[in-house]
Amino acid sequence: MSLEILGISVLWTFLFGYVILASIDFGAGFFNAYSILTGKERILSKIIQRYLSPVWEVTNVFFVFFFVGIVGFFPQSAFYFGTILLVPASIALILMAIRGSYYAFESYGARGHKGYASMYGIAGLLIPASLSVVLAIAQGGFVSIEGGTPVLDYAGLFTSPVSWSIVVLAIVAVLYISAVFLTWYADKANDKDATDLMRKYALIWAVPLIIAASGIIIELYSHNETLFNNLMNLWWMFAISFVLWALTVWSIWKRKNYAAAVWMLVGQFAFAFFAYGIAHYPYLLFPHLTIHEGFTNQAMAISLVVVFVLGLALLIPSIYLLLKLFLFDKDYIQGNKKKE
């Protein structure tokens, strides 16, 4: 395995970790706001706050690792993406700031305030929507090189069906991932009302998820035939992903083993996510930048790989301890022990 492939594989793994953890976090914030606005606060808010309280601070660690790594491994990506992502990235940063601020107000100020909770929940859905635009741009067709400088076609981007398909998938995936996890979490807390409500939400968003994912593949046929053909060559990975989705939905529908449903969900997204990454190889920005053209020097690459592997080795035990000491601690999950 070349250093380029090893580097992008490590980064893609960190990005996948962020996608899963952030989706649970963002979706939980939205469901919390929705429960407050619809008068179901007594059912959901306590469970969701117990999850968010110890977790929200660490979610972005994976994103920071990925952002630093993409510039470290592929310095030219800063040149290409730095200019064209100025607007989408700025919007995402503003939303993150708003979300963090309103979470502080909601948690340490006027708890249950509809305005604070709404801003927190809405921002949580708009952040993945704004970040997902990067995937649309990377597929090609929206960036041209003029005078040696990359220029983004905003009109083409925001009127493209494939762009909106990706945005819709990002939002639906957030709601589905979060709903499945919170169903398990509520069940662990022996909260039947919250479990039943989150189970309902998980089943509601299951079918739109598959429709949105299929829509992207259909739109890619006319947008980027090379990427579409690469995806079709990896049909077996998407088939496994679909089977895991079906098993997840079946498990939730039958109220059987919610823990297994969560792990099957992670597997479902892992197969689809890594299949997309493999299909996109070797391009970072189609057709202008590949992982080979924009790669750093060998010494830097080896150092970064070691640092990132060690970072992952540190993060995984940390998350395990967070789960064991807080999220799934019997007293904490049932509200008998507060986070220190």
Instruction: Judge whether 235 lies within some domain.
Output: yes
Distance CA 324, CA 330 (A): 9
Q: Are 75 and 44 in contact (CB under 8 A)?
A: no
Beta partners for 285? 289
Q: Which domain holds residue 41?
A: 3-333
If one counts the domains in the chain, the total is 1
pTM of this structure: 0.92
Instruction: Judge whether 249 lies within some domain.
Output: yes
Distance CA 293, CA 289 (A): 7
The residue-averaged pLDDT of 176-197 equals 92
pLDDT in tens, 256-276: 899 999 999 999 999 999 999
Instruction: Judge whether 338 lies within some domain.
Output: no
Distance CA 53, CA 103 (A): 10
* pLDDT over threshold 60, residue 111: no
The residue-averaged pLDDT of 188-199 equals 91
**Strand (E) positions, the chain?**
143-146, 149-152, 283-285, 289-290
- What is the pLDDT at residue 48? 80
Instruction: Judge whether 340 lies within some domain.
Output: no
Instruction: Judge whether 339 lies within some domain.
Output: no
Confidence label for 98 from pLDDT (cuts 50, 70 and 90): confident
Amino acid at 18: Y
Average pLDDT of the residues of the chain = 86
The residue-averaged pLDDT of 299-317 equals 86
- What is the pLDDT at residue 323? 76
Instruction: Judge whether 308 lies within some domain.
Output: yes
Please name the residues in contact with 299: beta carbons below 8 A apart, sequence gap of 6 or more: none
- What is the pLDDT at residue 110? 54
* pLDDT over threshold 50, residue 340: no
